Amino acid sequence: MKAYLIIILSFLFVIQLFAQDLQGLKKRIAVVDFEDRAGYGHNIGTGLADMLVTQLVKSGQFLVVERQELTKILEEQGLGMSGAVTPQSAAQVGQLLGVELMVMGSVSEFGEKSSGIGGSFGKIGIGAGVSKRLARAVVDVRLVNTSTGEIVTAESAEGEESSTKLDNVSVESIDFGNPTYWDETLLGKASRKAIDKCVGYIAKAMEKIPWEGKLIKVNEDGTVYMKPGSAGGIKIGMEFVVYSKGEAIIDPDTGLALGSEEQLVGKLKVVQDLGDGKACKAIVTSGMGLKQGDVVRVK
């Protein structure tokens, strides 16, 4: 009889979890600087990555890790912002940051060409006699699931814009931090189209990745602190389950992580928002042995 009661209570808890309004939960994401494979220079990889971060924030769909926080973790791991990062190391950094998805990529094409001169896409500086200008930006993005190190999506985002007018922009005057000016240039408009496509690819990939939170402190009084808080869509009264990750499962042939064994260790109920919504406080409603770093999920 006792066993049946436990099963019924567990079943009711699962139903209660699904009955919650979880549509507002935001998944966390980080963007590494893009490599400049187009050979354009002038920090074009960093600039387009910054444009992507801005658009992801504006979309309101995600919690985007601040660039300073990402840079700090990368430096601690002995990695640069772009070239030294592999899918596997990106997954490790992502786990330290508590994000579900890491965005890597490269700028494979960037520049302008004219119908009168022809040739490949190059740097700004076309003469005034050109009849038509075409700007093109291509960003190749790779989206890494931080739980497995797997590349879940690899896409090329292309953006083109044409004009018969000169916008009087030079290489030295490109300013990604001034969108009012940059967005009005031909290259700025082409870049914006490519970045908007990247946002679409990311949104689609995120649909397949489960939401996760993380315990950041466990108190002796039966309460815990977790991230995120209201900034990530968490509301007071929401209930979650907690999993403790065991030893990583490594593919002996490739050396890649295939995930890890997990154990259900407890359940939580949110009681207070903290840190401008970056964290929250919860009470442990069942379970024991919870610890810092444990994963919080909806089921």
Calculate what percentage of the chain has a pLDDT beyond 70. 77
Domain range for residue 253? Answer: 211-297
Q: Is residue 14 part of a domain?
A: no
Shared domain check, 216 and 154: no
Shared domain check, 223 and 198: no
Shared domain check, 71 and 172: yes
Shared domain check, 217 and 199: no
Shared domain check, 260 and 151: no
161-164 LR contacts (CB < 8 Å, sep 24+): 161/134, 161/135, 161/186, 161/187, 161/189, 161/190, 161/193, 162/132, 162/133, 162/134, 162/135, 162/186, 163/132, 163/133, 164/131, 164/132, 164/133
Rounded to a whole number of angstroms, the CA Rg of the chain reads 23
Shared domain check, 258 and 134: no
Shared domain check, 246 and 192: no
pLDDT in tens, 169-226: 555 556 666 666 777 788 889 999 999 999 999 999 999 888 999 999 999 999 999 9
pLDDT in tens, 73-87: 888 877 765 555 777
From 190, 206, 222, the end of a domain falls on 206
Shared domain check, 200 and 63: yes
Peptide linkage before 210 cis (omega within 30 of 0): no
pTM for the full predicted model: 0.78
CATH number, domain at 248?
2.40.10.410
Total domains, the chain: 2
Shared domain check, 238 and 191: no
